[in-house]
Amino acid sequence: MGIVFNSTAKTITLHTKNTSYQMKTGNLDYLLHLYYGPSIRDTDMSYQIMQYDRGFSGNPYESRDARTFSLDAQPQEFSTQQQGDFRTPSIEVVNSDGSYSFHGKAVNYKIIKGKYNLDTLPAAFAADKDTADTLEVVLLDRVSNVEITLLYGVFEEADIITRAVRVKNLGSRSIRLKRIMSVCLDFLNGADMDLVSFPGRYGQERQVERQHINHHIHTIGSVRGSSSHQQNPFVILCDRSATEDYGKCYGFSLMYSGNFLTEAELDQYDQLRLVMGIHPRQFVYELKPQEVFEGPEVVMAFTEHGFTGLSHLYHDFYRTNLCKSKFVTEVQRPVLINSWEAAFMDFDDVKLVNIAKAAKNMGVDLFVMDDGWFGKRDDDNSGLGDWFVNENKIKCGLHRLVEQINGLDMKFGIWFEPEMVSEDSDLYRAHPEWVMQIPGRHAVRSRNQLALDMSRQDVQDYLIEKVNAILDNANIYYVKWDINRSLADIWSNKIPAERQGEVYHRYILGLYRVMDNIIKTHPDILFEGCSGGGGRYDAAMLHYYPQYWVSDNNHPIDRLKLHYGTSFVYPTCTMGAHISDSGKFVPLETKAIVAMCGTFGYELDATQLNKKQQKICKKQSDLFRKYYHITFKGDYYRLTNPFEDGNFTAWMHVTKNKREALVSAVVTNLTCNGPQEYIKAKGLKPDTFYRINKEKTVYSGAALMNAGIPIPREVPEYSAFQFHLKAVNKQ
């Protein structure tokens, strides 16, 4: 059993294969956090909590004269509000009497076989062969009758623990929720820890920053209506000495696509608290009597094997326990070509078919018609929201166009941006009230488009009907689902004035409902998410889409950093990556090797490539298919850090049985008469011998990992190399 209750010590311990997580009902029935780290089995960790008179720290009234117990210094599972704990709180609730207070005591717990579900939000699931258990711990404020249920999902083999929270109003009058964190984790000593986060901007998403934890609140989050280009809802706490291969690392991945907040606070006693959940900016949620609010799930992982070990835990878990699409494991992803950079919005059906014919010579399986096929859409100033085919462009009709593409033995894909609307559109003229716009104020435009009020059920129903009608009208194999702006003018004319603080969250709930009704009802369609590139690349989106567009920046040298940062939590099989015209001086072979660290495809005009270039592309497409079982299902290793000075960037994939590997490298900085460079492999069996690219000579795994593979020096700028390693029986 992954969850053990000790009635004598009043502890509850969660066990995975290599880790333990422990809490206890402590003084005055407060739920205290005791431990998270390497396995301790049945040890009672209560001895760690030392209680002193902290002077200026307040004591709960019930403690009477016992001045040694203060919540300002106690490690808690869910930090209270207005009970003498002045650190960052887990909850902020306005009670029916106007008071700001939550005084939660542990009153019940329940251990359940299997993984819990959330009614309103996406969550990880237990696969068929998983050993998964659920712990529910109930905290109750007996004055306000606010009940908190802490949910824990324990995946034993995966070394994963998930957390979520439910808030229920058991009182007779409404309350207002102004802050709710899904996880609170207190470390008794965090002075020697670092925080790793993944900031960025449009075109440069998920860069990597590492900072020492010091005595203030480190804040990471988004208030842009989505998880954003600027931050990602994933952070790592690690030992200051942690590296790729060694050191303790804790990962926290929030499964939510809207505004989020992570705070890490090192307090006066060097205790570290990390909280993560919905951002409280412009968040006020009313709960009427008996109503329930769910906070999003956080996926937690711990390892002693550095950043690589942490990545492997997340990669394995997210490949099997996040998205139920058959394209995750059952069906090989196609090599695609997207029409955007080939034609933008200047195309007709004849031009598209010609691009597809040329792409067929490049080994392409799937042709994708991007923006410009619907409504009155000749540029990005009109047409969004009018989801009907523009037959001035697609003169033969969508059904016939798809038939022509299928006749080339190619699949067909299509682009949508469901959440947005143009002012110059039939939809806006018919329903201006469907747009988020504050009364009496001009709307903030972005890309000259406005956001639909996704909190409205009539808007949701319209999108479900229109998108499904297109998907059901033709043999659609693939959908690219885009959103190209951040949210502003947050206001809904469907919601009373006093409840406008709910709109941000209701938008996300509405989006998830639309996705449930479109994506999950079309299991044979491959969906790819996009948000001006990677502006909403999070675990919740990957619950729906098996892959997500990493960035609109296709430059292969920039992509080295983009793939590097993304790989810390999200596996290669989720990374949308294409070859494009971006990077004029980068060889086509190099672009292909970079794109092979992802879903692989093309974003260019195939009709402009000569036969030699098409032949090169065909070879690369075939290599992607050949190595698919390695790159999509194997373990990923970051061999170098592209953010540090170096002459090349390298990475590798290794099959689970360690019989095959693919080492990739890009030369990024040629130096005159410089040193010989070597790529040191990882993840191989030291005593196994490997052949490289069918060479006669074989090398031991120990040699390849400790001495490395030499990179040729006399090569053109931005050259790239792939080394296919295959185990052999040494004679």
53 is catalytic: no
Question: Helix 398-407 to helix 457-473 angle, to the nearest 10 degrees?
Answer: 50
Tokens of 613: 């270039």
The residue type at 228: S
Q: How far apart are CA 684 and CA 671, in angstroms?
A: 30
User: Measured between alpha carbons, how far is 310 from 300 in angstroms, rounded to an integer?
Assistant: 10
Q: Are 575 and 548 in contact (CB under 8 A)?
A: yes
Paired with 637 in beta bridges are 652
Strand blocks (E) in 362-410: 366-369
Beta strands in 350-393 (DSSP E): 366-369
For residue 729, give both structure tokens.
Answer: 């029986």
Q: What share of the chain is helix, strand, coil (3-state, %, to 5)?
A: 20, 30, 45
606 neighbors 574 (Cβ within 8 angstroms) = no
Compute how many other C-beta atoms are within 10 angstroms of the C-beta atom of residue 399: 12
659: phi then psi, degrees, rounded to nearest 5 = -90, -20
Smallest CA-to-CA distance from 662 within 562, 593, 615, 565 is with 593
Q: What DSSP letter does each residue of 591-616 carry, written as one string?
A: HHHHHTTTT-EEES-GGGS-HHHHHH
DSSP bridge partners of 345: none
As given in the structure block, the two tokens for residue 494 are: 């469907």
Token pair belonging to 343: 């034609």
Residue of 349, 552, 605, 635 marked catalytic: 552
Q: What angle do CA 509, 513, 516 make, to 5 degrees?
A: 135
Radius of gyration of the chain (CA): 27
The total of other beta-carbon atoms located within 10 Å of residue 568's CB is 24
How far apart CA 148 and CA 440 sit, in angstroms, is 40
Query: Is residue 589 within 8 Å of 561, Cβ to Cβ?
Result: no
Can you tell me the distance from the alpha carbon of 482 to that of 459, in angstroms, rounded to the nearest whole number? Answer: 17
482 is catalytic: yes
* Whole-number Å distance between alpha carbons of 471 and 482: 16
Rounded Cα–Cα distance for residues 195 and 106 (Å)? 31
Q: For 125-192, where are the E strands, in sequence order?
A: 132-141, 146-155, 160-169, 175-187
Phi-psi region for residue 385, left (φ > 0), alpha (ψ -120 to 50) or beta?
left
- E strand residue ranges, 596-715: 601-603, 635-638, 648-654, 660-667, 677-679, 689-692, 698-700, 709-711
Q: Which of 482, 538, 605, 635 is catalytic?
A: 482
**What residues contact residue 249 under an 8 Å CB cut-off, 6+ apart?**
236, 237, 238, 239, 242, 302, 303, 305, 306, 307, 309, 310
Q: Distance between CA 554 and CA 470 in Å, rounded?
A: 29
- For 37, 390, 609, 673, 727, the CA distances from 719, given in Å and listed in that order, are 43, 43, 20, 17, 26
Distance CA 510, CA 725 (A): 47
CB–CB of 391/483 below 8 Å?
A: no
3-state secondary structure of 427: helix
In the chain, what is the straight-line distance between the N-terminal and C-terminal CA atoms, in Å? 47
DSSP 623: H
HSE-CB for 86 with a 13 A CA cutoff = 8
What is the maximal distance between C-alpha atoms in the chain? 87
Q: Which residues are catalytic?
A: 482, 552
